[in-house]
Amino acid sequence: MQENNQSFPEEKPVLGISIGDFNGIGPEIILKTLSHPYILKVCTPVVYAPLKVLNHYRKLLNLKEIMFHLLNTPRQINPKKVNLVNLLPNQSFEVQPGQVSPEAGLVAREALKALVQDLKENILDGVVTAPIHKSNIQSDDFRFPGHTEFFTEAFGQAQSLMLLVAEDLRVSVATGHIPLSEVSQRLTREWVQTKAQILLTSLEKDFGIQKPKVAVLGLNPHAGEEGLLGDEEQQIIRPIVLEMKKKGQLLFGPFPADGFFGTGDFKKFDGILAMYHDQGLIPFKTLAFEQGVNFTAGLPIVRTSPDHGTAYSIAGKGIAEESSFREAILLACKIIENRMPMPREEA
* 44 closest CA partner among 71, 3, 78, 75: 78
- For residues 327 and 339, state if they share a domain: yes
What average pLDDT does range 232-261 have in this prediction? 95
The full length of the chain comes to 347
Using CB atoms within 10 Å of the CB of residue 290, give its burial: 0 to 12 exposed, 13 to 18 middle, 19+ buried: middle
CA distances from 103 to 19, 92, 93, 108 (A): 13, 10, 7, 9
* 218 closest CA partner among 198, 197, 250, 192: 192
- For residues 315 and 345, state if they share a domain: yes
Q: Are 48 and 87 in contact (CB under 8 A)?
A: yes
Alpha carbons 154 and 136: distance in angstroms, whole number: 20
Quote the mean pLDDT of the chain.
92
- Given a cut of 90, whether residue 54 has pLDDT beyond it is yes
* 315 closest CA partner among 56, 91, 13, 38: 56
pLDDT of residue 6: 45
- Boundary residue ending a domain (262, 291, 320): 291
The set of residues, in sequence order, having a beta carbon less than 8 Å from that of 340 and lying 6+ positions away, is none
pLDDT of residue 7: 47
Residue 13: DSSP 8-state: P
More confident call, 227 vs 26: 26
pLDDT of residue 210: 95
- Residue 129 sits in a domain whose CATH number is 3.40.718.10
pLDDT of residue 72: 83
More confident call, 10 vs 241: 241
What average pLDDT does range 55-75 have in this prediction? 89
- For residues 146 and 194, state if they share a domain: no
Alpha carbons 47 and 30: distance in angstroms, whole number: 9
- Boundary residue ending a domain (247, 274, 291): 291
pLDDT of residue 310: 96
The set of residues, in sequence order, having a beta carbon less than 8 Å from that of 213 and lying 6+ positions away, is 250, 252, 268, 269, 270, 271
- For residues 61 and 111, state if they share a domain: yes
CA distances from 238 to 246, 264, 278 (A): 12, 22, 21
Among 13-17, 108-112, 162-166, 226-230, the range scoring the smallest mean pLDDT is 226-230
Among 61-65, 224-228, 316-320, the range scoring the smallest mean pLDDT is 224-228
- For residues 309 and 285, state if they share a domain: no
User: What percent of the chain has a predicted confidence (pLDDT) above 90?
Assistant: 84
Alpha carbons 282 and 299: distance in angstroms, whole number: 25
- For residues 125 and 192, state if they share a domain: no
- For residues 87 and 228, state if they share a domain: no
Alpha carbons 54 and 28: distance in angstroms, whole number: 9
What average pLDDT does range 228-241 have in this prediction? 90
Structural domain for 28, as ranges: 1-157+299-347
pLDDT of residue 229: 78
Q: Would the pTM of this model clear 0.95, i.e. be above it? A: no
- For residues 282 and 317, state if they share a domain: no
Q: Are 107 and 19 in contact (CB under 8 A)?
A: yes
pLDDT of residue 342: 61
- For residues 153 and 165, state if they share a domain: no
pLDDT of residue 10: 57
- Boundary residue ending a domain (270, 291, 312): 291
Q: pLDDT digits over 266-309, tens only?
A: 999 999 999 999 999 999 999 998 889 999 999 999 999 999 99
Question: Into how many domains does the chain fold?
Answer: 2
What average pLDDT does range 173-184 have in this prediction? 93
Q: pLDDT digits over 66-108, tens only?
A: 899 999 877 789 999 999 999 999 999 999 999 999 999 999 9
